[in-house]
Structure 1
Amino acid sequence: MPTNFFAIFVLMAIISVFALSVSAQSQSMPKGCKTELKDIPATKTVGNPEPVACFYGPMPTGVTVSREGRIFVNFPRWGDDVRFTVAELRNGQPIPFPNEEIHTPNREKAAETLLSVQSVVIDPKNRLWILDTGRVEWAPTVERGAKLIGVDLQTNKIFKAIIFPPTVALPQTYLNDVRFDLRKGEEGTAYITDSSGENPGIIVVDLKTGNSMRRLTNHESTKPLPDFVSLVEGRPLMVRPPKGTPQPIQVGADGIAISSDGKRLYYCPLSSWSLYSVSTDALAEPNLPDREVEKTVKDEGAKVASDGLESDSENNLYVTSYDHNAILRRKPDNSYETLVFDPRILWPDTLSLAHDGYLYFTANQLHRMPRFHEGKDLREKPYMLFRIRVDAKPVLLK
């Protein structure tokens, strides 16, 4: 074979190999996506949240349901125009409860009027309890304003008013949620979370005498994580004033639930990813030193960031997930399952397990409030009350 011909042959072979390589690369390279945005795979929802009520006025936090299916909600005075801070839903509309007069806040008669209610709860005897923070728009606790009020649902009349002294309801105390064990003590015992960033803890109340005491104040299990930041709707959630540096949200012991046998009280700081429990016998024993109560605290492990907690008669625990628009159930084996996940569940707040087998919860867009967005109110009405079917029964300790 002539030398020139051989050189030409080799050159043509090299060119052919290069061309094939380029062709293969061009076939594997994307040429642009012509799929419509609506047809691209996206996150799928879980469960079926049923709307129960829509709120076009102030934002709600708490909800509770009586044996007969009466639904009660509350509206804290956080800056909205709140005409009444507790209501019963009748035909889907909030009606002042137990009467209209009690909702006119009066610092001079703080023990006799409702200042700002954070939670409403039906106890095992089907009575309504109203938890008044005694704080209006984050101002310090009004003297004799922090209280727990019991209402007889047979008569819709107040039968008990327990006023917390300044040694229990401190200036920055924020009474958040409450659970009951009516077997402990002559008329029962109430456990309340104090979710303040300063001096958070648990308050224990003797329902007969009205005596109350603080427990686990500033204990690691009730305190917020110092640098806690969660992502809600894909954005870091922080306190963002109109002027100044953003700061982490510092909310202590918030969610609360009681075990089906009443032996353990579950709780969690809002600014945390941990779940804790403590012995109720230790909590309620007035002569037991705090250091001995602390020894009974158990770290129940990591969980999602939560606001509300609830429990059922089979010792399942229900937790809100405000940064995932979801509600999960923690089984007795400590595993979790998602009951509902839906982008419309904007900040699931309080949980209430009713006798009809439904779990009721508010979704109030708390994370869109002005204090988190440089003074801009990003909330969109309506706020919602949802429910989901869980086929479970509430804990009844009576």
Structure 2
Amino acid sequence: MQPILPFEKYFGKLELVYAFYGAMPTGVSVSETGRIFICFPKWGDNVKFTVAEIVEDKLQPYPSLEINMVNPENITMSFISVQSVVADGRGTLWILDTAAPNFSEPIKGGAKLVAVDLKTNKIRRVYTFTEDIVLPTTYLNDVRFDFRVGKAGYAYITDSSSKGPGAIIVVDLDNGDAFRRLNGANSTSPDPYLLPKVEGKILMNRNKDGSTSPFRLASDGIAISPDGKILFFCPLTSRHLFSISTEVLRDRTILDMDLLYHVGYWGEKGASDGMITDAKGNIYAGDYENNSIRKILPNGIMETIAHDPRILWPDTFSIGPDQYLYFIVNQLHRQARFHYGKDLRQKPYSLLRMKIGELPAPAFS
């Protein structure tokens, strides 16, 4: 009789919220009233609409199908390829449009941050970017907000470029003025020494023609402290967590080269895609190499709160008013571009949640 050998322990109570049998999702956000929004960037799947709301267990294009149809005559008012959606807790859904389907050069004038009124489901304002802010290499990834500073608040956006400089893009929501910070800095750049490993195999670009190259992606995950004073961020291909004062980021009298001395280092937290903070200042981050979710306390202590074989690439996070942590699992590492053109993803992709007993960090007083 063969003995039963010990095996890896899994933990964390996960609940399935939604199973996706169509296009691959990346972003999720839960509003203060419990509405759930999803986005689907155009990475090669058949994306019928790039932003959706889950209504009565069905996906509905949001805010309308028309806006989700690319209109070359009016790209400012139509969604091209949305990477991130963020409900701000006070009645607005913010939509970050990369305008870069299949990681192409962003379509000129198409990259934007869009504010949608959740009461009327109408676009309230669109922020576009000049060519010195959204570069030919830029990939707008994720965004966080603080409405306690300036006349209308500020947004902080990660540029997770794979070919150019990473950065934090700071946006004055009053006048739309935007500027790049930590442009090409070590803290916003891929770790050149990292060999990411997922499901026991090295993650790298493996092309149809048999050629290979390292997988490198710049600043991606972003989170903001409950008081809005500290911004946390991490490159996608890195296990390191960094922070910086938002006041310093906004102060343009401080040269970018001098910003480096204001960056804080929090140690290794695992390689993460998405991050989020709760109202007590705890940070939640994925660990895509280990099918896990980490919690980083304000004192820097880290713990793993979920470790489960179903967590096949934890992407974006959101904390709902029900005190659950919601996150997308999308098997990003199984895409064809990592496997010589062969798509290894298995449907469904999933939206999971776990009870954390904490509310989201507020972006306003």
Letter aligned with residue 213 of structure 1: F
Letter aligned with residue 126 of structure 2: A
Pair 1:134 & 2:94 matched? no
* Structure 2 equivalent of residue 331 of structure 1: 297
* Structure 2 equivalent of residue 247 of structure 1: 213
Deviation sequence 1:1-22 (CA, Å, 0-9, x none): xxxxxxxxxxxxxxxxxxxxxx
Unaligned 5+ runs, structure 2: none
- Greater helix content: 1
* Structure 1 equivalent of residue 70 of structure 2: 105
Partner Cα distance (2:183, 2:144) in 1: 18
* Structure 2 equivalent of residue 55 of structure 1: 20
* Residue of structure 1 aligned with 2:273, choices 307, 311, 320: 307
* Structure 2 equivalent of residue 190 of structure 1: 155
Deviation at 1:73, TM superposition (A): 0.4
* Structure 2 equivalent of residue 207 of structure 1: 173
Partner Cα distance (2:18, 2:285) in 1: 21
CA contact (8 A) 2:220 2:233 kept: yes
* Residue of structure 2 aligned with 1:161, choices 116, 126, 129: 126
SS of the counterpart of 1:103? coil
Larger Rg: 1
Partner Cα distance (1:308, 1:47) in 2: 18
Number of residue pairs matched by the alignment: 363
Partner Cα distance (1:335, 1:349) in 2: 22
Partner Cα distance (1:263, 1:55) in 2: 36
Deviation at 1:199, TM superposition (A): 1.0
Question: What does 1:198-277 align with in structure 2 at a 5 Å threshold?
Answer: 198-277=164-243
Partner Cα distance (1:159, 1:393) in 2: 27
CA contact (8 A) 2:279 2:360 kept: yes
Deviation at 1:291, TM superposition (A): 2.7
SS of the counterpart of 1:281? helix
Deviation at 1:275, TM superposition (A): 0.5
Pair 1:64 & 2:44 matched? no
Change over 3 Å in CA distance of 1:107–1:171 after alignment to 2: farther
CA contact (8 A) 1:124 1:180 kept: no
Unaligned 5+ runs, structure 1: 1-33
Deviation at 1:259, TM superposition (A): 1.1
* Structure 2 equivalent of residue 93 of structure 1: 58
Runs (4+) of structure 1 moved beyond 3 Å?
none
- TM-score, normalised to structure 2's length? 0.97
Letter aligned with residue 337 of structure 1: E
Deviation at 1:123, TM superposition (A): 1.1
Partner Cα distance (1:55, 1:377) in 2: 16
SS of the counterpart of 2:299? coil
Worse-matched range after superposition: 290-299 or 370-379: 290-299
Letter aligned with residue 244 of structure 2: V
Worse-matched range after superposition: 39-48 or 249-258: 39-48
CA contact (8 A) 2:31 2:89 kept: no
CA contact (8 A) 1:359 1:387 kept: yes
CA contact (8 A) 1:227 1:248 kept: no
Partner Cα distance (1:354, 1:285) in 2: 32
What is the percentage of aligned positions where both structures have the same residue? 48
- Greater strand content: 2
Deviation at 1:40, TM superposition (A): 2.6
Letter aligned with residue 54 of structure 1: A
SS of the counterpart of 1:154? coil
Partner Cα distance (1:126, 1:35) in 2: 60
Partner Cα distance (1:229, 1:107) in 2: 40
Partner Cα distance (1:53, 1:325) in 2: 19
* Structure 2 equivalent of residue 151 of structure 1: 116
Deviation sequence 1:183-209 (CA, Å, 0-9, x none): 111011000000002111000001111
Deviation sequence 1:21-66 (CA, Å, 0-9, x none): xxxxxxxxxxxxx326xx3321121111100000000000000001
Partner Cα distance (2:182, 2:169) in 1: 9
Change over 3 Å in CA distance of 1:188–1:124 after alignment to 2: farther
Pair 1:172 & 2:137 matched? yes
SS of the counterpart of 2:67? helix
Letter aligned with residue 165 of structure 1: T
Partner Cα distance (1:341, 1:146) in 2: 36
* Residue of structure 1 aligned with 2:2, choices 31, 35, 42: 35
Deviation sequence 1:290-328 (CA, Å, 0-9, x none): 233322111111220111111111111111011111111
* Structure 2 equivalent of residue 4 of structure 1: none
Letter aligned with residue 65 of structure 2: E
SS of the counterpart of 2:337? helix
Letter aligned with residue 166 of structure 2: P
Change over 3 Å in CA distance of 1:227–1:337 after alignment to 2: closer
Letter aligned with residue 144 of structure 2: R
* Structure 1 equivalent of residue 321 of structure 2: 355
* Structure 2 equivalent of residue 114 of structure 1: 79
* Structure 2 equivalent of residue 22 of structure 1: none
Deviation at 1:108, TM superposition (A): 4.0
Deviation sequence 1:107-144 (CA, Å, 0-9, x none): 44221210000000011423100000010112101011
Pair 1:284 & 2:250 matched? yes
